Amino acid sequence: MPSFDIVSKVDAQVMDNIMNIVRKEYVSRFDFKDTKTEITFNKKDLVINITTENEMRLNSLIDILRARMIKQNVNPTCIDLSKEHYASGLMVKQELKIKQGVDKDTSRKIMADIKALKTKATAQVMDETIRVTSKSINELQLVLQLVRSTDYDLPLQIDNMK
């Protein structure tokens, strides 16, 4: 029976490469010359820590990061910017988490949209992935079109197509 998985994941090695490029870029920029700016990436927890002197530089670093992610074909909406920056002495710090997996609310929305298509395709939530199965490949293609055309505030990928 044909099936595919709907997932939201970011490769840690690709993100590490992006972080190295971002470091090289801000070191060579004039507006970051002689500053105490530091950007680190924790591969295990998928967390980016930014420490800089003011809010303007913080926003510049986030913009550089987004631009590099787009160039590396990584969707920048996977960065969770909901946590506000905070002051630590003379420095400004922000922690950016990389979203992994499809959360429960988004999976409910996707499941409801698949059911609203009124096809014989069935969807199951399996941890942080959604498996869609059907007897007909055409029905699966309809679901694929739906998932790609709808914005769920998560970068979704199609994986394990059988």
- Burial environment of residue 121 by CB neighbours within 10 A (0 to 12, 13 to 18, 19 or more): buried
Using pLDDT thresholds of 50, 70 and 90, give the confidence band for residue 136. confident
Q: What angle do CA 102, 7, 128 make, to 5 degrees?
A: 45
The arrangement of strands across the sheet holding 129-133 comes to 122-126, 129-133, 3-7, 157-159
Residue 93 contacts residue 49 (beta carbons within 8 Å) = yes
Distance CA 93, CA 101 (A): 26
Check whether 154 has a pLDDT greater than 90: no
Beta bridge partners of 80: 97
Claim to verify: residue 17 and residue 54 sit in the same structural domain: yes
Structure token pair of residue 141: 């293609």
Using pLDDT thresholds of 50, 70 and 90, give the confidence band for residue 54. confident
Q: How many CA atoms lie within 13 A of 23 on its CB side?
A: 14
Claim to verify: residue 74 and residue 144 sit in the same structural domain: no
The CA R_g of the chain, rounded to the nearest whole Å, is: 19
Claim to verify: residue 90 and residue 18 sit in the same structural domain: yes
Distance CA 116, CA 24 (A): 48
* pLDDT for the residue 88: 77
Claim to verify: residue 79 and residue 147 sit in the same structural domain: no
Using pLDDT thresholds of 50, 70 and 90, give the confidence band for residue 127. confident
Check whether 151 has a pLDDT greater than 90: no
Tens digits of per-residue pLDDT, 65-76? Answer: 999 999 999 989
CATH of the domain at 68: 3.30.70.990
DSSP run (H or E) holding 58: helix 55-71
Claim to verify: residue 27 and residue 52 sit in the same structural domain: yes
3-state secondary structure of 101: coil
CATH of the domain at 131: 3.30.70.860
Q: Tell me the angle at which helices 12-28 and 55-71 cross, rounded to the nearest 10 degrees.
A: 130
